[in-house]
Amino acid sequence: MPNEHVDAWKTSKELFAGTVAGWTQVLTGQVSSDHHDSILFVSSSQHFSKVVSLGSVSNQPFDTVKVRLQTQPRDKPTYSGMGDCVKQTLKNEGFAGFYKGTLTPLIGVGACVAIQFGALETAKRELTLMNARNGVREPTHLTMGQLFVAGAASGIANSVLSGPIEHVRTRLQVQSRGAAGGGYSGPLDFARKVASAYGVSALYKGQCVTLVREFIGYGSYFSTYEWLMQRAMIEEGKKRNEIELWKQCAYGATAGYALWLSVYPIDVVKSKLQTDGFEKETRQYRGMMDCARKTLAQEGMKGLYRGFWACMARAAPVNAATFVAYEATMNLLGR
């Protein structure tokens, strides 16, 4: 088979596995079986004989709490903290309040994560070829810097979709508090009304800060996971599909922490910009730097870390599940 056909087939498998990983990321803990809440992942290395149940840890409610804490008014905060946000949301909106905007990530995150993994693996192959041309003895053993570049490339590619998708989700998550631009019945209604009133470019509000976040965040995210996996394969003399499941979970969780520790203040700025007014008269911030400067001046450093613990609570289980799903799917498809 010609090389271009081989590469196309590999990319197709990576995109499909990434889609599965994206769905897993959204649905972790949101699917109940008849007997218990869990999501089941099949370990293909055991030919479907090993089914692993990941505990019922929900992704979307934590994300909703995070965004609401990040974007609440400075002078008269709606919530005193994460616990108060949970309590008020339950009281005023019921459990459904935690799942505002869920349809958007369910549809979009599958595509986003597919792009992330597809771009990552393509970049890794190019860097491996570069190492081979430069006479590196083990061209597949990428340095941490190379892995960061590969991850950053995946983040740049991902930002094309993640920018508008997260804009939609963020608006829907906060609109119960009467945020600017509220009154949308769902993601399609939001997209239609915003595009009609302000143009399609308005859907990309906050795109510059999203690009910065994705570059740094996914550079940190994938370099952490890939370096840990690579080290395990070298030290233990194993192939990738032979790495134990618990290690995949641990490495995925570590990668999740690395991502958010590296970009959390940037994510706060992104949320503030994406819930800011569309028109000049209703806009609080002129851009990314203005938002960061005003937040620091008015709220101090803590203003850039609102919702941090809600985010960290979901980082480990969600990202462990994401990588397990990706690795299992790739093993099933045959690497």
For 288-329, the DSSP string reads HHHHHHHHHHHH-GGGGGTTHHHHHHHHHHHHHHHHHHHHHH
CA distance 243 to 38: 23
122-146 in b/e form (b: 16+ CB < 10 A) is bbbeebbeebeeeeeeeeeebeeeb
Please, which residues have CB within 8 angstroms of residue 80's CB and are 6 or more apart in sequence?
none
Class of domain 3-333: mainly alpha
Residue 57, token pair as written in the block: 């840890």
| Sign of the torsion formed by the C-alpha atoms of 269, 274, 276 and 281 | positive
CA distance 189 to 191: 6
pLDDT at 67 (0 to 100): 76
44 or 95, which is more confident = 95
Interval 288-312 mean pLDDT: 94
DSSP state of 96: G
In this predicted structure, the answer to whether residue 46 has a pLDDT above a threshold of 50 is no
29 touches 37 (CB < 8 A) = yes
Residue 267, token pair as written in the block: 């994510």
CA distance 291 to 303: 11
Residue spans of the domains in the chain: they are 3-333
% of the chain surpassing 70 pLDDT: 84
Residue 61 identity: P
The beta strands (E) that lie in the chain are given as 39-43, 50-54
Interval 187-201 mean pLDDT: 93
pLDDT at 98 (0 to 100): 73
pLDDT at 51 (0 to 100): 31
CA distance 46 to 25: 23
In this predicted structure, the answer to whether residue 158 has a pLDDT above a threshold of 70 is yes
CA distance 267 to 276: 14
285 touches 294 (CB < 8 A) = yes
**Mean pLDDT (the chain, rounded):** 85
What DSSP line would sit under 102-151, residue for residue? -HHHHHHHHHHHHHHHHHHHHHHHHHHHHHHHTT-SSTTS--HHHHHHHH
Q: pLDDT class for 322, splitting at 50, 70, 90?
A: very high
Among 79-93, 136-150, 194-208, 219-233, name the one with the lowest average pLDDT: 79-93
CA distance 71 to 276: 9
Q: The pTM is what?
A: 0.80
Residue 167, token pair as written in the block: 């804009």
